[in-house]
Amino acid sequence: MLMMTSYAQEKKMFTPEDASYNNREVYAKAKSFKWLGSSDKFVFNEDNEIRFRSPGEKSSHTLLTLDMINSIAKGNGVGEFKRMPNITWTTENGGYFFRMGEDGNITLNTLNIKDKSIKNINSYPANAENMTLDAKTMRIAYTIGNDLYIANGGKQIRITENPEHVIAGQSVHRNEFAIDGGIFWSPDGSKLAYYLMDESMVTDYPLVDITTRIATEKPIKYPMAGMTSHIVKLHVYDIAEGTDVVMQTGEPEEHYLTAITWNNDNKNIYIGILNRGQDTLNFNEYDALSGEFKQTIFTDIDEQYVEPQGPAHFLPGSTTEFVWLAQRDGYYHLWLHNTKTLNARQIEKGDYVVTSFNGFDGKGNAYYTSTEVSPLQRHFYKVSIKNGKKVKITKKHGTHSVLPSKSGRYFIDNYTSIDVPRAAEIVDANGRFIDYLYQAENPIKDYNIGVTEIDSIEAEDGQLLYTRIIKPYNFDENKKYPVIVYVYGGPHAQLITDTWLAGAGIYLNYLAQEGFIVFTVDNRGSADRGEAFEQIIHRQCGQMEMHDQMTGIEYLKTKPYVDADRIGSDGWSYGGFMSTSLKINYPETFKVSVAGGPVINWKYYEIMYGERYMDTPQENPEGYELTALDNKTDKLEGKLLIIHCSTDPTVVWQNSLSFLEQAIHNQKQMDYFVYPGHDHNVYGMDRAHLITKITEYFKDNL
């Protein structure tokens, strides 16, 4: 059991503003360290000054001050700097940065301290979005509206002139399948691949803007499960030739284009073609100059679903070998593929999940982060691509994010753990400690905060489930306390981690401060536990998750301080679906429930995510009927508060309105609250209102 302890003294109390990110003082302060170009020296900012030192060196040195950069700026006819720019250091003497220009455009500038020069080498409009820089050529691709542009030496090139509902250069497929952006520079910067998405065939979904005197309809394109999807193509624009070629990805067009990867030869490009059923992925090679299909490198098939985790990663200098992250033996691991022989070989293996690929060292090794030590922790490794021999770089328990130096001799290790808010240190290639860099002060040392305990229980199939209990700061072991079960439960999330506050954040500690035991269990279906653990929810979302939550309830009931007659639940989005499901299916257990932005019926959810986990309503009518909550309002008992945002583009308002309508028809009383103009959650200054609303509801009823 992991435990985080604080002692009750005369201290401050958290407020709803603290719990809503509106008071930065209660969050750990970060400090950034970066390598100085390709050297083994590192740089950091200190009081508007940039300093550097070598690992193990006792004192740091001034690299650049505000006065120095203003002196350089004056000598180059550049306007004065009010603060230090955010510089990307490409050499020991300089790098590049962005700045607002006098003409209102964003300028790209290079700085050379040795030559005392600042040059404006490119610019793009301030209203541009999706800006993507090619650091070799200093060309910038960006979008304005639905169109794609390239800034080349300050000259603006318009690539597309799209009609309404045709969009270039942006993320597609609603950011599923590990898609990050819609712009992909070739390695030499001579060509630009980009997504072109046609949504014209997708049904409009009405959102309403109430800020106008007569409310205005603001429709979005929202393909629901089983309905017509959008069509995506991948284009390649050749800057020198001015040509635009479409990759011939074939039929049917209702498929997903993922894992866009350039070959190091700048001539071939790869696309993961995922069928709409999401059970087959073909990783295909295309001629980037003609768009012609060349070959399928590999095919991955899974009875439930295939979920690619990002692009392929070609070995440095290679045009034939790349590393791919795949879940072929039940866990995500690194695989080496060859585009000529089509052979594939697993690089490392074990009952753990590789959560990210982190690059190469140029010496035959790959870097990755995984759950090898514990599902609660993230550690950084170096592995030989040739023989699988590995070195664990990070040693201290917790969650690590690591930045290697160019030489691979040193690593900046940024980490957090249940007892460390933020810290940074340098280790060597064998993971030996070299240098202390920074540790954030405990930002809540002056606040009343209770004990947090992490434990584990067994699911009905024997798999380990992690639990977290947060006790009130003035906890009395002789009293019985009401419990709030905070739940998410869905894919792509892990609530309990070896990070600061055990992943709970200020909000849950605020609820505990108000006199509740706050309990969480990461049920089967949540992230980074392997295929069997995650895919058990397929075609029956919420069912196994509820079983595991009830296993957690039985564990809670063994605690002498838990009042089993006063248990509530709280969750948002998938967590809202889970909180409502628990209330409907186990009314004898959950006296009070709060559900924010809940999925009520998966037929109302979007196609990519919804069909991955539930298939279509036509293919899985029993599953949709089983998991629908709007057809079960006759079972509603006790107190339920549903909260929804009026312009939610993710879980559309229709979900909770359908539940409310059926509750009325069944003469069931419930509470309902709307946040006008907010999207999928409530942020900004209004979030304190949301937290107060939820807390007061539990206080009044639990």
Is residue 333 annotated as a catalytic residue, yes or no?
no
pLDDT at 47: 86
pLDDT at 174: 79
Q: Which two tokens stand for residue 104?
A: 């209102």
Q: Is residue 115 part of a domain?
A: yes
Q: Is the pLDDT of residue 3 over 80?
A: no
Band of residue 9 on the pLDDT scale cut at 50, 70, 90: low
- The answer on 52 and 12 residing in a single domain is no
**What kind and span of H or E run contains 569?**
strand 562-572
Q: Is the pLDDT of residue 345 over 80?
A: yes
Domain interval for residue 73: 30-126
- The answer on 109 and 80 residing in a single domain is yes
Which one of the listed residues 379, 538, 648, 678 is annotated catalytic?
648
Q: Is the pLDDT of residue 4 over 90?
A: no
- The answer on 34 and 20 residing in a single domain is no
Q: Kindly give, in sequence order, each residue whose CB lies less than 8 Å from that of residue 241, ignoring residues fewer than 6 positions away.
A: none
- The answer on 58 and 14 residing in a single domain is no
Which residue in 565, 582, 689 sits closest to 640, CA to CA? 582
Can you tell me the distance from the alpha carbon of 244 to that of 626, in angstroms, rounded to the nearest whole number?
A: 48
Q: Buried b vs exposed e over 195-207: b needs ≥16 C-beta within 10 Å? A: bbbbbeebeebeb
Can you tell me the distance from the alpha carbon of 561 to that of 570, in angstroms, rounded to the nearest whole number?
A: 20
Which one of the listed residues 20, 123, 186, 573 is annotated catalytic?
573
Q: Is residue 242 part of a domain?
A: no
Q: Is residue 485 part of a domain?
A: yes
* Identity of the amino acid at 575: G
Rg (CA), the chain: 27
The residue from 126, 143, 176 where one domain ends is: 126
- The answer on 106 and 15 residing in a single domain is no
Strands 147-152 and 399-404: unpaired
How many other C-beta atoms lie within 10 A of the C-beta of residue 522? 29
Q: Is the peptide bond preceding residue 223 cis, with omega within 30 degrees of 0?
A: no
The pair phi, psi for residue 658, each rounded to 5°, is -65, -35
Q: Kindly give, in sequence order, each residue whose CB lies less than 8 Å from that of residue 610, ignoring residues fewer than 6 positions away.
A: 224, 225, 602
* Dihedral sign for Cα atoms in the order 489, 490, 491, 497: negative
Q: Buried b vs exposed e over 643-678: b needs ≥16 C-beta within 10 Å? A: bbbebbbbbbbbbbbbbbebbeeeebebeeeebeeb
Q: Is the pLDDT of residue 8 over 60?
A: no
The full DSSP string for 294-357 is: EEEEEEEE-SS-----S--EEPTT-SSEEEEEE-SSSS-EEEEEETTT--EEE---SSS-EEEE
- The answer on 527 and 550 residing in a single domain is yes
pLDDT at 446: 96
Is residue 47 annotated as a catalytic residue, yes or no?
no
Can you tell me the distance from the alpha carbon of 306 to that of 273, in angstroms, rounded to the nearest whole number?
A: 11
Can you tell me the distance from the alpha carbon of 510 to that of 444, in angstroms, rounded to the nearest whole number?
A: 12
Which residue in 649, 635, 542 sits closest to 606, CA to CA? 649
Q: Kindly give, in sequence order, each residue whose CB lies less than 8 Å from that of residue 162, ignoring residues fewer than 6 positions away.
A: 146, 147, 168, 196
Q: Is residue 486 part of a domain?
A: yes
Q: Is the pLDDT of residue 283 over 60?
A: yes
- The answer on 11 and 112 residing in a single domain is no
- The answer on 507 and 455 residing in a single domain is yes
Q: Is the pLDDT of residue 219 over 70?
A: yes
Which residue in 280, 315, 293, 277 sits closest to 234, CA to CA? 293
pLDDT at 2: 62
Q: Is the pLDDT of residue 409 over 90?
A: yes
Q: Is residue 370 part of a domain?
A: no
- The answer on 50 and 10 residing in a single domain is no
Angle among Cα 396, 402, 403 to the nearest 5 degrees reads 145
The residue from 91, 126, 161 where one domain ends is: 126
Q: Which two tokens stand for residue 240?
A: 């020198």
Phi/psi region, residue 683 (left: phi>0; alpha: psi -120 to 50; beta: rest), is: beta
The residue from 126, 155, 176 where one domain ends is: 126
Q: Which two tokens stand for residue 123?
A: 């610019």
Q: What is the CATH number of the domain that holds 596?
A: 3.40.50.1820
Which residue in 653, 635, 551 sits closest to 593, CA to CA? 635
pLDDT at 547: 98
Q: Is the pLDDT of residue 535 over 90?
A: yes
Which one of the listed residues 165, 680, 686, 689 is annotated catalytic?
680
Band of residue 10 on the pLDDT scale cut at 50, 70, 90: confident
Count of the separate structural domains present in the chain = 2
Angle among Cα 327, 412, 138 to the nearest 5 degrees reads 80
pLDDT at 581: 98
Can you tell me the distance from the alpha carbon of 687 to that of 472, in angstroms, rounded to the nearest whole number?
A: 23
- Residue 672 DSSP SS3: strand
Mean pLDDT over 384-412 rounds to 98
What is the per-residue pLDDT across 477-514, written as a single tens digit (0 to 9) for each? 999 999 999 999 999 999 999 999 999 999 999 999 99
Q: Is the pLDDT of residue 672 over 80?
A: yes
pLDDT at 1: 63
- The answer on 510 and 486 residing in a single domain is yes
Is residue 59 annotated as a catalytic residue, yes or no?
no
* Identity of the amino acid at 595: A
Q: Buried b vs exposed e over 28-60: b needs ≥16 C-beta within 10 Å? A: beeeebbbbbebebbbbbeeebbbbbebeeeeb
Q: Is residue 218 part of a domain?
A: no
Q: Is the pLDDT of residue 5 over 80?
A: no
User: How far is CA 291 from each of CA 89, 255, 268, 271, rounded to the nearest angstrom?
Assistant: 36, 18, 9, 12
* Average predicted confidence (pLDDT) for the chain: 96
Q: Is the pLDDT of residue 6 over 70?
A: no
- The answer on 101 and 9 residing in a single domain is no
- The answer on 50 and 8 residing in a single domain is no
Q: Is residue 565 part of a domain?
A: yes
What is the per-residue pLDDT across 305-341, written as a single tens digit (0 to 9) for each? 999 999 999 999 999 999 999 999 999 999 999 999 9
- pTM over 0.85, yes/no: yes
Share of the chain above pLDDT 70, in %: 99
What is the per-residue pLDDT across 291-310, written as a single tens digit (0 to 9) for each? 999 999 999 999 999 999 99
What is the per-residue pLDDT across 544-599, written as a single tens digit (0 to 9) for each? 999 999 999 999 999 999 999 999 999 999 999 999 999 999 999 999 999 999 99
pLDDT at 178: 82
Angle, in degrees to the nearest 10, between helices 687-701 and 505-513? 30
The full DSSP string for 53-75 is: E-TT-SS-EEEEEHHHHHHHHHH
What is the per-residue pLDDT across 161-212, written as a single tens digit (0 to 9) for each? 999 999 999 999 977 888 889 999 999 999 999 999 999 999 999 999 999 9
Q: Is residue 110 part of a domain?
A: yes
Mean pLDDT over 365-375 rounds to 98
What is the per-residue pLDDT across 112-164, written as a single tens digit (0 to 9) for each? 999 999 999 999 999 999 999 999 999 999 999 999 999 999 899 999 999 99
